[in-house]
Amino acid sequence: MQLASNHQPTILLIDDTTTNLKVAMQYLSAYSFDILIAHDGETGIERAKLARPDLILLDVQMPGIDGFETCRRLKASPITSKIPVILMTVFTETAYKVRGLEAGAVDYLTKPIDEAELLARVNTHIKLYHLQEQLETRVRERTAALEEEMARRAVQEQEKAELMELVRQQSEQLRQLTQLLLDNEDSQHSQLQAGQEQVDRDLLVLEQQLDHAAQLLASSPTQPQAAELALQTIRDARQVLDHVRQESRQLGTNLEEVTSIRTNLRANPLFKLSDREYEIFQLLAQGKSLTEIGKLLYLAKTTVSTYRQRIMEKLDVADPAELARFASQYGQSA
């Protein structure tokens, strides 16, 4: 009987009887086990902590601390707690076996020990011990991998949250700046309109002055003083007229510029997009796939696809490639 692995197991024998030790050593040495011995419980515990054997064969009746107490102490120490312990005794009563199992033993051998039974139980429990170690190692590795994956996902979630916050801030800033610009242009437009109204009033004054001059000339054509007064009035009116013409030309130019800016701003097709559509538009412009956008916004891929189709319809573009060119044209990162 041999272990399946190439590992050469170490067995610690704890027994105060030399004859028992010799018999057990004779049985086990023939099968290439490394054998360590101890003649009492205290020594056995110390040797177990130093050597960390693969299995301990422990006699129940010994001077000092007996096998049950020795087993309890072995199981209480984190260094030796996982090492399987098989108790050896001449007692066959069930109460002794239960007491041994309660102390932490994994099995029980009745003296005189049968060689075949000894080897079978030793091999079985050593294999189980190493299988348990392998399982615990795999669990630790898997746990470490899961913790690493959780940490990686936490970082991804943080990065995703930061990206979405940046997209939201950029969107909000762009809309605020655009609205501010529109408000400013509206204010200028109002001022220009007020200027235009002033021009109209000046023209009315001019017309009144010209009418007054005409009346003066008509009523007193032979009076030099009246004629001179009329001519002066006409000259003053012409000065006002020249001034009004200059202002009118300037106002017309300014109005054309403001109207053009307002028209261009309000014609920007991005204003057709909702806040969610604008977020998706920005992410598409950054080269994000539908799957990536879905993960960022917690949306299904099909939902993102529907949003993309709406965006292309509102912006009147035919395909994603044209959408990317459109984003570049309007100053977005593509």
pLDDT tens-digit map of 105-123: 999 998 888 888 999 999 9
Tell me the C-alpha to C-alpha distance, in Å, between residue 102 and each of 71, 166, 265, 323: 10, 62, 85, 74
pLDDT tens-digit map of 10-56: 999 999 988 888 888 888 888 889 999 999 999 999 999 999 999 99
The reply to whether 322 falls in a domain is yes
Token pair for residue 50?
């130093």
Please report which helix (H) or strand (E) contains residue 35, including its range.
strand 34-38
First vs last C-alpha separation in the chain: 71
What three-state secondary structure class fits 36?
A: strand
The reply to whether 330 falls in a domain is yes
In whole numbers, what is the pLDDT of the chain averaged over residues?
80
Q: Which residues partner with 14 through β-bridges?
A: 38, 58
Q: How far apart are CA 273 and CA 315, in angstroms?
A: 9
Q: Please identify, among 73, 91, 113, the residue that sits at the C-terminal boundary of a domain.
A: 113
Q: How far apart are CA 229 and CA 209, in angstroms?
A: 12
The reply to whether 108 falls in a domain is yes
Range of the domain at 298: 272-334
The reply to whether 231 falls in a domain is no
The reply to whether 153 falls in a domain is no
Domain CATH for 324: 1.10.10.10
Please report which helix (H) or strand (E) contains residue 161, including its range.
helix 115-219
Domain count of the chain? 2
pLDDT of res. 215: 72
Amino acid identity of residue 208, one-letter, is Q
Token pair for residue 125?
């429990």
Q: How far apart are CA 74 and CA 72, in angstroms?
A: 5
The reply to whether 210 falls in a domain is no
Q: How many C-beta neighbours within 10 Å does residue 206 have? A: 18
What three-state secondary structure class fits 269?
A: helix
Tell me the C-alpha to C-alpha distance, in Å, between residue 157 and each of 146, 284, 293: 16, 19, 13
pLDDT tens-digit map of 146-205: 888 888 888 877 877 777 777 677 667 766 766 676 677 667 667 767 777 777 777 777
- Counting Cβ atoms within 10 Å, is residue 112 exposed (0-12), middle (13-18) or buried (19+)? exposed
Q: Is the peptide bond before 112 cis (omega within 30 degrees of 0)?
A: yes
Q: How many helices (H) and strands (E) does the chain have?
A: 10, 5
Q: How many C-beta neighbours within 10 Å does residue 314 have? A: 16
Lowest mean pLDDT, pick from 59-63, 121-125, 309-313: 309-313
Phi, psi of 194 (to 5 degrees): -60, -40
Tell me the C-alpha to C-alpha distance, in Å, between residue 120 and each of 6, 27, 131, 161: 18, 12, 16, 60
pLDDT tens-digit map of 225-249: 666 776 677 777 767 777 776 776 6
Q: What is the pTM of this model?
A: 0.51
- The proportion of the chain whose per-residue pLDDT surpasses 90, expressed as a percent, equals 26
Phi, psi of 13 (to 5 degrees): -100, 125
Q: Please identify, among 85, 113, 141, the residue that sits at the C-terminal boundary of a domain.
A: 113
Domain CATH for 88: 3.40.50.2300
pLDDT of res. 127: 93
- Residue in 37, 32, 35 with CA at minimum distance from that of residue 5: 32
Cβ–Cβ under 8 Å, residues 24 and 58: no
Q: How far apart are CA 192 and CA 259, in angstroms?
A: 11
The reply to whether 239 falls in a domain is no
Q: Please identify, among 70, 94, 113, the residue that sits at the C-terminal boundary of a domain.
A: 113
Token pair for residue 32?
């290439």
More confident residue, 308 or 52: 52
Q: How far apart are CA 322 and CA 268, in angstroms?
A: 17
Tell me the C-alpha to C-alpha distance, in Å, between residue 202 and each of 52, 118, 205, 210, 279: 110, 124, 5, 12, 52
Token pair for residue 89?
């005794």
The reply to whether 305 falls in a domain is yes
